[in-house]
Structure 1
Amino acid sequence: MKPWAILDIEPTDDISEIKKAYAKKLKIHHPESDPEGYQVLREAYDTAVKYAKASKKSVNIDSTTETNDTSINIDFITKTTDISPQFTIEYGPGSPLHMEEVPHEESPSIYEQNAHFLTQVEALYDDFYSRIDIGNWKTLLDSDLLWLIENKLVLSRMLLDFLSSHHHLPKDIWILLEDTFKWCDEEAKVTYSHESDFVDYIKKQLNTPIPLNYSYFRIIDCVDYELFFDHREKVQDNIMANNISAAKYHLEQAKKLYTDDPDLFRLEGIIYLLNEDLVNAYGSFEKALTINTEDPAALKYVITTYCENNQTAEALETYKYLYPESADTNALPLFVAKTYFKLGALDKAKTWALKAIKTFPPENEANILLSQIYANLRKKLSKALAEDPSNEKIKLKLDAINSEVFGRTTENTQLNEPKGILKAIQLIFKIVLAILLFVISLALIFASRIGIVVVAFFAIMRFVLKKGK
């Protein structure tokens, strides 16, 4: 069925008309009582809105061509840029939430108010600079509708459904949304079981150690930023999955859309680094730092690149800048091992962890990291072998890892045996010494008592002899 038939309106590029029809149909297909009907309605609404936007964009392009205006409107974002939202949130009598764009009755139903709330979410998301400002989301979420516990669940599901296809947000906003709706809580697993894949995506956004940045963009009219963000995110995901060929593909697609992004340069540098192209890796990291001079992630990869190229002095200098309280050369191999481990580059992480142990043998942290690396390697290879049992290459690699683990365990046992014997000898010596001291103490006490008696005896004898005289 076509979206216009579902919305019960004629085809139009008037988005407000589409939203009005959506709000009306939402009374019938409620997310709680009719989830399937709501899903169909939602898809029809999204399709209709996309059609309307595409129609308007086509008209704008035609008019631009007619006026022969080939200039591109570029607005640079700076720290002083006014990123106030271009949508209006108004609170008025008779309604906890009033949207200017959607006409409604004086006393709108809860369904209409929810539809208006979602309209504001869409308006906020569509305005890029407003979208990345957490203050705008705090204002939006400060709605009376969210104080109604049952209705909060309805809005939560509606918002989750919207965000599943509109999910390019900074990490601090994901934290705010999670604090508000608790999508990732254990208790919410049953409630949101049908959205489990997207809940996993939210968890990834919340837990990522190096979140992607949205603050260094300039808006160019002809750029599809949502598509750019999709490709950029897939570059990072494929790097973490060690699928470098797919990462390179999405990198090239992203660069066709937009190039002046520090995160994209950093991701490009990581791909070069993993392919051991150190010159280009360093060049990409430098480009990232040119745009974002204080990017700690890019600096970490610069240190790693220097270490891979045996430029210890340069690596140490950058390390001192990043960690002024700790500037020991011995710390560099462990630092590089950790960097590769976080990237999922386990083979390189293992190489540098072994260097760290060799450089500074008592380093317990390096041994612990190496154990984690071996565990992840075995898990990864075992999973791959389960999917392809006849793959001899994977079998050989898994056997090699198992042999390494066994060899290190044996080596550690042999190294620990002399230490154990030495400790046993030391313990026996301490026991013997304690016994000897105890015997000597008893002898002294006994001798002292005899001495007192002898002295007393001679003293009495002397006194008696004097008296006798």
Structure 2
Amino acid sequence: MSVWETLEIEPTDDLKAIKKAYAKALKTYHPEEDPVGYQRLREAYDSAIKLAKEGIFVVSPSQEYETSLNRVEDYDPHELDLPIEEHPVDQFIQKVQDLYDDFFARIDIKNWESLLQEDIIWNVQYSEPLQDRLIEFLEDCPFLPVAIWQLLDQTFYWQENKEELESRYGRITKQFLLENINGIKQLGYDYFNKDFKFDYEEYLQLRADAQVFLMEDDLVSAEEALDQAFQLFQSDPDLLHLQGIYYLRVHDYAKAQQAFANKLSISPTDPDALLYQAQLHFSAEKFTETIQDCELLLEHHPEHLGGLLLMIKSYLGLHDENTAYEWITKAIELHPERPEFRPYQSMVLNKKTRKVPMPKLDFKIKSKFFLNNVLAYIFIILRRAWVYLFAFLVLLCTPLPFKYTALLLIPILWEIAKILKGEFLPLFMLSRKKRRELYFRCLSAGCVDSNFLERYFIAYDFTYIRDRLIGKRFLTKVLKQWEITNPSELKQKINDLLDGEIQQEFNHVLHQLMPLSEKARDLYIDSLSKDDPDYPKLFLANRGIHTLTENGVVAVDWAWAIYLSRFGRRLGYLSKDEAKRFMVKAAQCSQESYPSWIEYFTAFHLGNYFKAKDSKHNHYAKHGLSAIFGLLGGPQSPLLKIKWKNDLVHDQR
């Protein structure tokens, strides 16, 4: 058996590798328990050291260092009293460690620029082992400003070699490096100074832990990490941001308000703190304070979508529609592709209620609106009276006297009269039951996936003959989309929706984003491939952070619960009482969770996109938005007759 077989290593001239192998083998060949084995091991060790010092063979620097990486933690180099020269990679990593251990030297990019100019950086022979050790170090010691991470990337080209990086180190390590380089979860270092005496490493770890716990929705651990971090240091805007998010999540809005106010006292123009503070003021109906927050935000970030939206909502809250309309116009000019402002525009410009001058419309646009209305009425008439019309046309081709054929005009005219009655009849002339049914249809209007049918099914409910027997295909097609084939599956799905099935998924994604700053969130979304299955959900949740109320997109769950209940009743899957119970519960939850029709529809629209995993959130004809426009802007809209806060679902008469 050769000396190398005894030591259980390949032949090498690396003294540290030999030393390590000897120390490891000593655990097997103990001098007192196996003196013969120990003697053989000692002789092998002495021979290996002699061969290595004489340089019997030569290995490449990369192989040499890779062999030397395998150390044992319990080995004492003084035991054998062997002078060993430190490897260049070890020397460099030691300098990195020394720099990292000095906190204020660590966060000064000039020190890293100097360190990264050393000759070993450009030595191709040491490239792989150097990167291996440096990445291993950074995984254990990651707390560096993003500028330093980007400097490291400029030196080692990690972003340019993503595939190679993943192949060599794995997906998790690649993701770790790219997140730090792009500053996705980056927390700041600008507010530390040498006057503060505390354990910076412990603080940074607690701060990072709090962020991760919030992203994972572990609020108990987040609270513990935040409390411990605040005991060490209280003047960090990033920690105050995390504290504010924590209090929002546990619904302690007074403390959340204080946390963001504290952040603004340190960083007065911070966009995240200004926007969260404005949202809290708006939720408390302090519209003047909201406007003040937004004015400061827009002074430094003139195109900020969240600030523009809150300005519009606040002026509407103050019943100042003229100023609100000015902000709507400005917002649409700045963000013509975003649909969030369009419902407010429709509502403010409603012909029956507007207090602002109607903008001059191009003749082509007016003609298009007029034609759409005419076609809509023709469609409604045909859908309700097509049987009579068909029979009338057939009889015209027969020798039957016209006076008998003309009798078929009576039911046609009757249907036209009913349509006009539905459009123009005052609400108080409808029975309470009819008003409640109309209310349910309005709540679920956006679920109808057809520009013509959505208008029809707002005015009319599903009927037994026309929809269950003749038009059953339309009803079953929708159920098929939800993979519902029988009454029990329908009831289970409605119950899941009443429990907020889609909202739970939305919240899971939202919680991953809220602890991040707006800039970091945008960087994170942009760093994802659009083919990534998580991209649409993250993209849409990010859009909803500052455009939705605290109840998120749960409106889409309840709207679909009502819509499916209406389907179930007409298909015979639900009894009349079952369908009514489901719809009443969904309507009650909606009223309690949203302050107005427009907030409800905003949540529904974004939630419908989220349900469909559709990241093209700029298409006005999809996912119920055209129905929402019609309801908010139509001069004969039922919303002008039915107030959001009503007693139609609380009194069950």
TM-score of the two chains, using structure 1 as the length reference: 0.52
Q: Deviations over 1:160-183 (max 9, x none)?
A: 111111111111111111221133
Structure 2 counterpart of 1:281, from 256, 274, 294: 256
For residues 143 and 415 of structure 1, what CA distance do their matches in structure 2 show?
A: 64
**Equivalent position of 2:149 in the other structure:** 174
Unaligned runs of 5+ in 1: 10-23, 49-103, 337-352, 368-372, 384-395, 419-469
**Equivalent position of 1:186 in the other structure:** 162
Q: Deviations over 1:432-465 (max 9, x none)?
A: xxxxxxxxxxxxxxxxxxxxxxxxxxxxxxxxxx
Q: Deviations over 1:250-308 (max 9, x none)?
A: 11222233333222122111211233322211211222233334433323322232223
Aligned length: 300
> 1:123: how far off?
1.0
Map of 1:214-253 to 2, 5 A cutoff?
214-219=189-194, 223-253=198-228
Q: Is the 8 A contact 1:232 1:250 kept in 2?
A: yes
Q: Is the 8 A contact 1:31 1:38 kept in 2?
A: no
| Alpha carbons of structure 1 residues 257 and 354: separation in structure 2 relative to 1, 3 Å | farther
**Equivalent position of 2:506 in the other structure:** 377
**Equivalent position of 1:124 in the other structure:** 99
Secondary structure at the aligned position of 1:192 is classed as: helix
**Equivalent position of 1:161 in the other structure:** 136
> 1:186: how far off?
2.2
Structure 2 counterpart of 1:306, from 269, 277, 281: 281
For residues 250 and 207 of structure 1, what CA distance do their matches in structure 2 show?
A: 25
- Is residue 2:257 matched to residue 1:272? no
Secondary structure at the aligned position of 1:216 is classed as: coil
Identity %: 25
Q: Is the 8 A contact 2:503 2:557 kept in 1?
A: no
Secondary structure at the aligned position of 1:310 is classed as: coil
Superposition RMSD in Å = 4.9
Unaligned runs of 5+ in 2: 1-18, 24-51, 53-57, 78-82, 315-337, 349-445, 447-501, 511-532, 535-553, 562-603, 613-620, 632-653
- Is residue 2:344 matched to residue 1:359? yes
For residues 294 and 230 of structure 1, what CA distance do their matches in structure 2 show?
A: 27
For residues 313 and 209 of structure 2, what CA distance do their matches in structure 1 show?
A: 26
Structure 1 residue runs of 4 or more that deviate by more than 6 Å after TM superposition: 27-31, 333-336, 373-376, 396-399, 415-418
For residues 190 and 304 of structure 1, what CA distance do their matches in structure 2 show?
A: 41
Q: Is the 8 A contact 1:330 1:360 kept in 2?
A: no
> 1:8: how far off?
9.4
Q: Deviations over 1:212-248 (max 9, x none)?
A: 1112224579733212111101212232334333322
Q: Is the 8 A contact 1:306 1:312 kept in 2?
A: yes
Q: Is the 8 A contact 2:62 2:125 kept in 1?
A: no
Q: Is the 8 A contact 1:296 1:322 kept in 2?
A: yes
Structure 1 counterpart of 2:69, from 32, 38, 42: 38
| Alpha carbons of structure 1 residues 402 and 188: separation in structure 2 relative to 1, 3 Å | farther
**Equivalent position of 2:309 in the other structure:** 331
For residues 206 and 295 of structure 2, what CA distance do their matches in structure 1 show?
A: 34
Structure 2 counterpart of 1:317, from 271, 282, 292: 292
**Equivalent position of 2:173 in the other structure:** 198
For residues 414 and 266 of structure 1, what CA distance do their matches in structure 2 show?
A: 38
Map of 1:73-112 to 2, 5 A cutoff?
112=87
- Is residue 2:125 matched to residue 1:139? no
Letter in structure 1 aligned against 2:281: Y
| Alpha carbons of structure 1 residues 316 and 130: separation in structure 2 relative to 1, 3 Å | same
For residues 29 and 399 of structure 1, what CA distance do their matches in structure 2 show?
A: 64
Q: Is the 8 A contact 1:265 1:284 kept in 2?
A: yes
Q: Is the 8 A contact 1:235 1:251 kept in 2?
A: yes
Deviates more, 1:295-304 or 1:164-173: 295-304
For residues 335 and 209 of structure 1, what CA distance do their matches in structure 2 show?
A: 31
| Alpha carbons of structure 1 residues 182 and 401: separation in structure 2 relative to 1, 3 Å | farther
| Alpha carbons of structure 1 residues 151 and 29: separation in structure 2 relative to 1, 3 Å | closer
TM-score of the two chains, using structure 2 as the length reference: 0.38
Map of 1:410-425 to 2, 5 A cutoff?
411-412=624-625
Q: Deviations over 1:334-364 (max 9, x none)?
A: 999xxxxxxxxxxxxxxxx99866434599x
Greater relative contact order, per chain length (Cα 8 Å cut-off, separation 6+)? 2
For residues 277 and 225 of structure 1, what CA distance do their matches in structure 2 show?
A: 29
Q: Is the 8 A contact 2:343 2:629 kept in 1?
A: no
> 1:205: how far off?
2.3
> 1:313: how far off?
2.1
For residues 270 and 507 of structure 2, what CA distance do their matches in structure 1 show?
A: 33
| Alpha carbons of structure 1 residues 415 and 355: separation in structure 2 relative to 1, 3 Å | closer
For residues 119 and 146 of structure 1, what CA distance do their matches in structure 2 show?
A: 14
Q: Deviations over 1:111-148 (max 9, x none)?
A: 72222211111111011111001111111101221212
